[in-house]
């Protein structure tokens, strides 16, 4: 490969040539860029926002799945596997734990400021988002990676059997640019479905749409029923403090379960009772089960969790405050681009996926990966995908790029020239069909079918709309991506006629062993859902 070199900022119509393009700006994107650069590849990282501050990790404090060599990793995997609703893969879980630990050690070697334990050893199981992502940006820069901040990718470029580039827009000017690359990693994060959650503004499922337009499938999209408790009216989706909460109705009555016991631990066993109660009226909480020592630990360990309370003048340990359940979609859910190879290939030559953009079923099954598993998956999958993309680029070094065509459709190239669409209204409509508790926390055939019809109508409008221009193309593509992700979610949820993991069907409340397989979804104008054990084999990378 040619030696790495810096590229100037993209200008209108400019073509940037590189070996590997990483699309995204969170931890998976950073690890992918570092992995690819380590092989000697030229790497470009294109971020919709500012790399190091965009995405769900930057404003967070997250644990990791950290299993030191002295511990029995096989036993750790087995304990976690029992909680994955039978859809995880032990081999992937083990290799993810291995890779994540190795890369945490790399952070130590690079000088990341981990805190020290009382015995002087470093505590590497926790990452403070702002410090972590600032450090990762510095490492990416030091590795010679070209970072294109505020350069959202809008579509992929490819020929009949290979992805060889991408096109985007410069947010500052609205100018277009193209990147040709031998390998591309989609690390665009999950889809928050326009829910107002911390770090979720730009998480619109862009990578899901790019991959589908290239012919890839998605998996696990029905496992989007992950919600997190938050103070009512805030964007804070950090639920850990609610482990020490008691819940109350509006009249001050303690919320009780079927046995008459007070409902507590809103991120565990009490969540369903809280969600059920919210259907009939407001629910309030007080973190009254935390003793003074725990209160101090929570405030020091989760400082951003308490800023909303402080701004509202609430002492959450002594005052009652209203709560809500924030929908988290595929951010803390499971679904995403289907992975078909050990290096996180998508089945489309030259295209790889990592982090929350990819399905995490291999390591989380049908439940949420929460913070720790998702954080370790981002580290491991980013590393594998970056390496895979670099190796693919090396194999295709002399490939011509002149025949690459634009793959983007809805939101970029409408079928009518004079049909306008209200994107804000479309976004509100999609959110209203996917985020409410009675539509995604609990599902029924009736509600799913109603949502499906509404979403098909929105998609048809987007498909026919007059093409946007300049920077407006970004919003049009974001709305198209969220709408597509919602349609895939509904299709998978309709096919899974059971309750498993965070997919809950009121009309099929039990778990059906015959359905212990994954569901693949694909297609744009015509969405298809099929059980993996009945699907045709996917094409492998070329």
Which residue from 139, 215, 176 is spatially nearest to 523, judged by alpha carbons?
Answer: 215
**DSSP alpha helix (H) spans, 333-444:** 361-364, 372-395, 423-434
Residues in the chain: 542
- Active site includes 134? no
Cα–Cα distances (Å) from 322 to 60, 196, 437, in that order, read 23, 17, 16
Spatial distance between the Cα atoms of 11 and 178, rounded to a whole number of angstroms:
9
Spatial distance between the Cα atoms of 327 and 166, rounded to a whole number of angstroms:
31
Spatial distance between the Cα atoms of 108 and 310, rounded to a whole number of angstroms:
34
End-to-end CA distance of the chain: 19
Helix crossing, 27-38 with 129-142: angle to 10°?
A: 20
8 contacts 169 by C-beta, under 8 angstroms = no
Spatial distance between the Cα atoms of 29 and 22, rounded to a whole number of angstroms:
6
Which residue from 341, 328, 331 is spatially nearest to 381, judged by alpha carbons?
Answer: 341
Residue tagged active-site, from 73, 196, 249, 256: 256
Place of tokens 């644990």: 63
Residue 367 Rama label (left phi>0; alpha psi -120 to 50; beta):
beta
The H or E element spanning position 415 is none
Place of tokens 């009772």: 273
Which residue from 243, 252, 263 is spatially nearest to 305, judged by alpha carbons?
Answer: 243
268 contacts 288 by C-beta, under 8 angstroms = no
Place of tokens 């045709």: 536
The two tokens of residue 298 are 């929570």
Tell me the catalytic residues: 256
């Amino acid at each position: 490969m040619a030696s790495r070199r810096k590229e100037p900022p993209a200008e209108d119509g400019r073509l940037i040539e590189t070996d590997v393009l990483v699309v995204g700006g969170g931890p998976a994107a950073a690890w992918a860029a570092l992995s690819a650069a380590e092989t000697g590849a030229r790497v470009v990282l294109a971020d919709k926002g500012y790399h190091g501050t965009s995405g769900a990790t930057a404003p967070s404090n997250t644990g990791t799945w950290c299993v030191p060599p002295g511990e029995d990793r096989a036993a750790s995997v087995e304990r976690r596997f029992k909680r994955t609703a039978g859809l995880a893969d032990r081999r992937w879980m083990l290799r993810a734990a291995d890779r994540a630990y190795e890369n945490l050690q790399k952070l130590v070697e690079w000088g990341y400021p981990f805190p020290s334990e009382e015995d002087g050893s470093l505590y590497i199981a926790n990452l403070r988002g702002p410090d972590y992502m600032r450090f990762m940006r510095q490492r990416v820069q030091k590795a010679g990676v070209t970072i294109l901040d505020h350069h959202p990718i809008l579509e992929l470029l490819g020929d009949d059997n290979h992805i060889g580039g991408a096109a985007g827009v410069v947010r500052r000017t609205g100018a277009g640019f193209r990147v040709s690359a031998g390998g591309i990693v989609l690390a665009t994060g999950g889809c928050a479905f326009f829910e107002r959650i911390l770090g979720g503004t730009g998480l619109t499922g862009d990578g899901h749409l790019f991959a589908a337009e290239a012919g890839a499938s998605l998996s696990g999209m029905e496992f989007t029923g992950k919600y997190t408790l938050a103070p009512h009216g805030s964007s804070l989706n950090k639920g850990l403090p609610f482990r020490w909460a008691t819940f109350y109705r509006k009249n001050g009555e303690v919320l009780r379960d079927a046995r008459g016991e007070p409902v507590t631990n809103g991120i565990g066993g009490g969540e369903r009772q809280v969600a059920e109660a919210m259907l009939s009226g407001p629910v309030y909480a007080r973190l009254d089960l935390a003793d003074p020592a725990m209160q101090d630990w929570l405030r020091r360990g989760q400082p951003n969790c308490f800023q909303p309370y402080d701004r509202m003048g609430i002492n959450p340990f002594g005052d009652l405050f209203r709560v809500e359940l924030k929908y988290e979609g595929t951010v803390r859910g499971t679904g995403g681009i289907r992975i078909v190879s050990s290096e996180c290939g998508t089945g489309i030559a030259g295209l790889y996926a990592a982090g929350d953009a990819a399905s995490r079923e291999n390591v989380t099954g049908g439940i949420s990966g929460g913070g720790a598993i998702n954080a370790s998956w981002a580290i491991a999958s980013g590393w594998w995908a970056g390496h895979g993309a670099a190796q693919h680029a090396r194999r295709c070094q002399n490939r011509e790029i002149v025949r690459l065509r634009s793959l983007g459709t809805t939101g970029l190239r409408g079928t009518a020239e004079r049909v306008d669409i209200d994107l804000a209204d479309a976004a509100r409509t999609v959110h209203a069909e996917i985020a409410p508790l009675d539509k995604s926390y609990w599902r029924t055939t009736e509600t799913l079918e109603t949502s499906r019809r509404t979403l098909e109508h929105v998609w048809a409008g987007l498909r026919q709309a007059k093409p946007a221009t300049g920077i407006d193309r970004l919003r049009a593509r974001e709305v198209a991506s969220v709408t597509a992700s919602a349609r895939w979610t509904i299709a998978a949820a309709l096919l899974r006629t059971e309750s498993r993991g965070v997919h809950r069907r009121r009309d099929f409340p039990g778990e059906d062993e015959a359905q212990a397989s994954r569901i693949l979804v694909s297609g744009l104008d015509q969405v298809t859902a099929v059980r993996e054990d009945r699907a045709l084999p996917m094409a492998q990378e070329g």
